[in-house]
Amino acid sequence: MDRTPLKNLTITAMLLALGLILPFITGQIQAIGNMLLPMHIPVILCGLICGWKYGLGLGLSLPLIRSLIFGMPPMYPVAIAMAFELGTYGLVVGLIYFLSKRRNVGTVYIAMIIAMISGRIVWGIAEVILLGIKGNTFTWNAFISGALLNAIPGIILQLVLIPAIMAALDKSKLIRFNS
């Protein structure tokens, strides 16, 4: 990561804008957004390109900002739980990728998979706490449905698109793998 903080901040701001716009592809329909996970892509890219601090910051802020500006996702409990989930993605993917001795497409996959698992666990914990505050429960079936079953198309999209983007950035010399 040889970029200056200003370059990382600029890239993060561009990814924030992308994260605000991408959900319009799903037509603001929450069920489709839950399947394609459009806000996840810029956060994971930010962690991989700029590092964990920027990925964490973008992940924590993106769903909250989008909720405040556009009303989607709904602030409570969805955007708040997503902030913890996406913050975890940005943090974990950035830490694993930049602490790895080898940075290549394989490392991108490893970092993404660990981040996806970690983020979904944090999301589940956040849902339990947030729903518990209002006296509601978050069941195991709701967790499996929300974290895995409904998200399969988005998970596949991320596992195909993000490594391809990172490889293209390496090929164009905008980032460098060190195989």
Per DSSP, 39 falls in state T
Residue 46 neighbours by CB under 8 Å, 6+ apart: 11, 12, 15, 54, 55, 58, 59, 90, 94
- The pLDDT value recorded for residue 61 is 98
Closest CA to 40 of 146, 163, 154: 154
| Angstrom distance (rounded) from CA 47 to CA 58 | 9
What the block records as the tokens of 122 is 């944090």
Encode pLDDT of 106-136 as tens digits.
999 999 999 999 999 999 999 999 998 988 8
| Angstrom distance (rounded) from CA 68 to CA 97 | 31
Residue 69: CB atoms within 10 A of its CB come to 9
Residue 80 neighbours by CB under 8 Å, 6+ apart: 63, 64, 126, 130
Mean per-residue pLDDT over the chain, rounded: 92
pTM above threshold 0.85: yes
What are the sequence ranges of the domains in the chain?
Answer: 5-21+37-171
Instruction: Decide if domain 5-21+37-171 falls under CATH 1.10.1760.20.
Output: yes
Of residues 157 and 147, more confidently modeled: 157
